[in-house]
Structure 1
Amino acid sequence: MTDTAPPARRELRFPSGTGTCHAWLYLPDTDAPADPPPVLVMAHGLGAVKALRLAAFAEYFQAAGYACLVFDYRHFGDSDGQPRELLSVRRQREDWLAAVACARALPEVNGDRVVLWGTSFGGGHAITTAAADPGVVAAIAQCPFTDGLVSARQISPRALARLVAAAAKDQLGRLFGRAPTRVKVAARTGQVGLMDAADVVDGVTGLLEASGFTEAEYRNDVPARVAMEIPFYAPGRRIPEVRCPILFCVCDDDTVAPAAATLRHAARARRGQVVRYPAGHFDIYVGPQFEKVIADQLAFLRTHVPATPPEPRNPEPVALDR
């Protein structure tokens, strides 16, 4: 027997559609727990990969006694799929369902205690997955994308027209087998992109720096065809169907997933909890807002899905009349 500590995480792949997704599995550092831990299924947002700060969240949950399955969507990061960076709502939703199935089959975790955790676009997917799967025991939607039309309106009319034109060109090119027409995920003024608010590029740059990435190492563009899907995707409409407890972490100054739309949809949750932060969309990944949101998410988990289930109480002996 050695004194070496177990690895912080291990890598695995699971099937989704006709491909596979790459994932990190975090397991609590405990000695043969009596009960397998709950598992959080975690994924990122629009055009992002798990290497962008999701490890920071998972490590906190791991230290608190939770397992985490953190995955990349097909076409992104370490997952397979061509063309690269293809952003498809349908495929990403399939990947979430496949990740939940994978988590339930893992022998090291309690497959009956699956929690969904998604951020930004992934927060929207966490909502729709929780609505579709009544076996999920809790969900956390961080600065979630809830309403495609509202998010599309954050782009200026001129930039939106250029984005739609690029999407149409990409769709047409796909029919003829051409290489994708690509657009920026985070765009500067004058560029064609999915997000072009004033704080977006600096926010993404800060996220890259905090994750040890350079801008050259991160592919900040995707095939433009997704611009035809985003306005019609409204995960917030599925919130009344979510049966489990769900936490909404809402950034009041969010320029990507506006808070007003999220709060309107969240108010219809059966078992919802809302925590608001005086922050922008990207502030929640680093610094004081990160520390605050982690504390709030852990409090939510300890209330609804404690890492160690409470011991069953022995009934008090009943005095029998003689």
Structure 2
Amino acid sequence: MQTTTETIRFKSEGINCAGTIYKPEGHGPFPAVLMSHGFGAVRAMRNIPEVGQLLAEAGILALAIDFRFLGDSEGFPRQQVLPNAQRQDLRNAISYLETRSDVNKDKIGLWGTSFSGGQSIRVAAFDRRIKALVAQVPATDLFRQIRYEAPEAQQKILQDAIDKERARHFAGEEPHTMKLADQEGSPSVFGVESLDWATRNEAEHASFYNAVTITSLEEAIQTAPGDYIAAVSPTPFLVIMAEPDKTVVITLTEKAFKQAQQPKKLIRYQGLHYDVYDRPEILKMASEAARDWFVEHLSV
């Protein structure tokens, strides 16, 4: 099927957010899927365009967004990852889709990866406009992951940075940032394991920066969207999980998934967190699995 792309803007709490529409041939109205990127990332990164294109070829309109403060979206200070704001952006993007004449507003799905995979779970638990959900390598519980699972050295790096930032925040100073990934021995959010991913994406995407505000870290480590997972039902729910995943703790993902109610499905792939973006065969598998889930639950 021939497809087209379109760059759009929509308002979220008065801020212009950027998006890319992947549109099937014809006038619709089509089922639609909202897609969102991971922590500090942007919508142009793999595997978002791949999933968007597959959906459009299958007759489903897809909208990939940059959250506010990131990528091509507006909002200051830059490089903020604020969970409450991102959930509002998702809800407002769904409202935008409902205004389009080429969208069937009764058949809207939600796809999120990594950090937004977790936040999408929480949104879907409350927003009944969502009729199908895919959470790819989701961060279901950063609170317990950092508090109880992370190495003490990493916990100290994050806590020291947060403590110092509170004084700057109180004084009204510009927020400081921390790199998402860096060399061994240098403070960063995810450490050296994520450095190849961050370095390559900085080179490939001018709107991506290997940094987030330290205030973002304080907000992020208080999130546990898996606590809301049972309320996603009766929305059909697919989780795609890496094993082993050294970026999110998979025992927390598994524990959350057990609490989810039917209809639900879990797909495991043998590989690391970033392999779903970087290894062609895993990228293909995960993208096609997401497409098939939405075709099954939105196109009938």
TM-score (norm 1): 0.86
Q: Please give the alpha-carbon distance, in whole angstroms, between the structure 2 residues aligned to 1:273 and 1:6.
A: 30
Counterparts in 2 of 1:159 and 1:201: CA distance versus 1, 3 Å: same
Distance 2:158 2:68 in 1: 23
SS in 1 for 2:121: helix
Residues 39, 168 of structure 1: alpha-carbon distance in 2 compared, 3 angstrom cutoff: same
C-alpha displacement at 1:170, in angstroms? 2.1
Deviations 1:19-40 (A, max 9, x none): 12111111102x345xx21100
Gaps of at least 5 residues in structure 2 are none
Cα distance in structure 1, aligned partners of 2:246 and 2:144: 10
Q: Where does residue 19 of structure 2 map in the other structure?
A: 23
Q: Distance in 1 between matches of 2:259 and 2:292?
A: 22
Bigger mean CA offset, 258-267 vs 37-46: 258-267
Is the Cα contact below 8 Å between 1:207 and 1:285 reproduced in 2?
A: no
Partner of 1:102: 96
1:281 aligns with 2:266: no
- Name 2:132's counterpart in structure 1: 138
Q: Can you list the C-alpha shifts for 1:74-127, whole angstroms capped at 9, x where unaligned?
A: 000111001111111111111111111111221111111110000000101110
* Identical amino acids, percent of aligned pairs: 27
* Deviation larger for 183-192 or 250-259: 183-192
Larger Rg: 1
Q: Which amino acid aligns with 1:50?
A: R
Distance 2:92 2:110 in 1: 13
Would you say 1:229 and 2:229 are equivalent positions? no
> How far is 1:16 from its partner?
0.9
Code of the residue aligned with 2:223 in structure 1: it is Y
Kindly indicate whether residue 30 of structure 2 is the aligned counterpart of residue 37 of structure 1: yes
Which of 171, 184, 206 aligns to 1:176? It is: 171
Amino acid at match of 2:238: L
Query: RMSD over aligned Cα, in angstroms?
Result: 2.0
Deviation (angstroms), 1:246: 0.5
Query: How far apart are the structure 1 equivalents of 2:83 and 2:151?
Result: 23
Aligned pairs for 1:234-313 (under 5 A) are 234-243=224-233, 244-270=235-261, 271-286=263-278, 287-306=280-299, 309=300
Are the counterparts in 2 of residues 203 and 283 from structure 1 also a CA contact under 8 Å?
no
Q: Which runs of 5+ in 1 are unaligned?
A: 310-322
Aligned pair count?
295
Q: Which residue of 2 aligns with 1:315?
A: none
CA contact 1:154–1:255 (8 Å) conserved in 2: no
* Letter paired with 2:210: N
Q: In the TM superposition, what is the alpha-carbon distance from 1:305 to its structure 2 partner?
A: 1.7
Q: Normalized per residue, which structure has more helix? A: 2
The offset of 1:41, in angstroms, is 0.4
Map of 2:69 onto structure 1? 75
Greater strand percent: which structure? 2
More divergent stretch after superposition (54-63 vs 164-173): 164-173
Q: Find out whether 1:191 has 2:186 as its counterpart.
A: yes
Deviations 1:132-163 (A, max 9, x none): 11221100000001011343256432232122
SS of residue paired to 1:266: helix
Q: For the Cα contact (< 8 Å) 1:28–1:67, is it kept in 2?
A: yes
TM-score (norm 2): 0.92
CA distance in 2, matches of 1:6, 1:21: 27
Structure 1 distance, partners of 2:123, 2:230, is 13
Shift of 1:187: 3.0
Give the direction of change, closer, same or farther, for the CA distance of 1:79–1:100 in structure 2 (3 Å limit).
same
1:207 Cα deviation after fit: 5.2
Q: Determine which structure has greater relative contact order: mean sequence separation of CA pairs < 8 Å that are 6+ residues apart, divided by chain length.
A: 2
Aligned amino acid, residue 171 of structure 1: R
